[in-house]
Amino acid sequence: MISIKQIPVLNDNYIWLINSSEKYTAVVDPAVPEPVISELKKNKWKLTHILNTHHHSDHTGANLELKRITNCKIIGPMADYERIPGIDIFLRDEDEFEFGTEIVKVIDVPGHTKGHIAFYFPNSGSLFCGDTLFALGCGRVFEGTMEQMWNSLIKLSLLPKQTRVYCAHEYTLSNGNFALTIEPNNKKLKFRMKNIIEKRNKGISTIPSTIEEEIDTNPFLRPDSLEIQRNLSLVGSPLLDIFTKTRQLKDSFRG
């Protein structure tokens, strides 16, 4: 099994520190080095790997400094290796690698960027998905296409339902407020939002969620919802069209 530590940084980023068998420690998407170094010292862990889901600087900003200090190996997407600072190992869809007692599976999930990947730890039921799937949301489609993002989300939704989703940002409250505008009668969504509001009022993280929670309440995984289709005036339309309209509406949502 793995031990996972959450490190909040910047305005709303989460860096994830993963330890396995005491000898192996990875950091996922390190934006800045200092909090990572502090947490490593606190737990007496030696950094062996950096896992980058994509190239954006708020996910790779600490790569070179952490590599300089620890001589760790940087793992990232083959499809975007030129934009991952200090990358050592390039991986593509369905590649696997050993991490202590774990076998980590790579899932190609383009859309937010052209070379986005996710890291899935099946033994411990943990998914580190960067900016592809959020709690109650998904990433903006910057470099890829809507079809790519939709297909990426389908891949993630097919993981075991109890898989814990460790995304990279605390966007949950805003995502939930948007979700309620297009599926206001979803009882599971309303119940989840009540808990989210309570947590955020106390400064408590809403991450991780689970795949099951996302399937039940995340509008980007629910284009088959008749209520969403009606509210978007897209009843019976292709799921990709409904997803696309949902993403476009979220892009301009303020709340």
pLDDT in tens, 20-58: 988 999 999 999 999 999 999 999 999 999 999 999 999
- Residue 254: predicted pLDDT: 87
pTM metric for this prediction: 0.97
Active site residue 169: yes
Catalytic residue among 56, 80, 108, 116: 56
Q: Are residues 30 and 63 located together in one domain of the fold?
A: yes
Active site residue 58: yes
Catalytic residue among 29, 80, 108, 131: 131
Active site residue 116: no
Query: What's the mean pLDDT in 212-221?
Result: 98
Using the 3D structure, point to which of 118, 136, 167 is the last residue of a domain.
167
Using the 3D structure, point to which of 167, 196, 213 is the last residue of a domain.
167
Catalytic residue among 49, 55, 112, 116: 112
- Residue 116: predicted pLDDT: 98
Which run of H or of E encompasses 117?
strand 117-121
Taking the C-alpha atoms of residue 114 and residue 141, their distance in angstroms, rounded to an integer, is 10
13, 28, 186: which is closest to 117 by C-alpha? 28
Count of domains in the chain? Answer: 2
Q: Are residues 150 and 196 located together in one domain of the fold?
A: no
104, β-bridge pairs: 97
Catalytic residue among 59, 80, 108, 116: 59
Q: Are residues 210 and 137 located together in one domain of the fold?
A: no
Q: Are residues 48 and 118 located together in one domain of the fold?
A: yes
Q: Are residues 208 and 183 located together in one domain of the fold?
A: yes
**Peptide linkage before 208 cis (omega within 30 of 0):** yes
Active site residue 131: yes
Q: Are residues 244 and 219 located together in one domain of the fold?
A: yes
Q: Are residues 95 and 196 located together in one domain of the fold?
A: no
Residue 98: which domain range?
A: 2-167
Q: Are residues 103 and 155 located together in one domain of the fold?
A: yes
Under the phi-then-psi rule, with left for phi > 0, alpha for psi from -120 to 50, and beta for the rest, what region is 72?
Answer: beta
Q: How far is CA 18 from CA 40, 100, 126, 169, 208, in A?
A: 10, 11, 11, 17, 14
Residue 49 and residue 114 in contact, taking contact as beta carbons nearer than 8 Å: no
Catalytic residue among 29, 49, 55, 58: 58
Active site residue 80: no
Query: What's the mean pLDDT in 164-178?
Result: 98
Does the pLDDT value for residue 15 go beyond 90? yes
Active site residue 56: yes
Query: What's the mean pLDDT in 59-75?
Result: 98
Q: Are residues 204 and 239 located together in one domain of the fold?
A: yes
- Residue 206: predicted pLDDT: 98
Catalytic residue among 54, 55, 80, 108: 54
Does the pLDDT value for residue 255 go beyond 80? no
- Residue 3: predicted pLDDT: 96
Of the pLDDT bands very low, low, confident and very high (cuts 50, 70, 90), residue 75 is very high
CATH number of the domain bearing residue 98 = 3.60.15.10
Catalytic residue among 49, 55, 116, 169: 169
Using the 3D structure, point to which of 167, 202, 227 is the last residue of a domain.
167
Q: Are residues 147 and 74 located together in one domain of the fold?
A: yes
pLDDT tens digits along 117-144: 999 999 999 999 999 999 999 999 999 9
Active site residue 55: no
Taking the C-alpha atoms of residue 253 and residue 175, their distance in angstroms, rounded to an integer, is 9
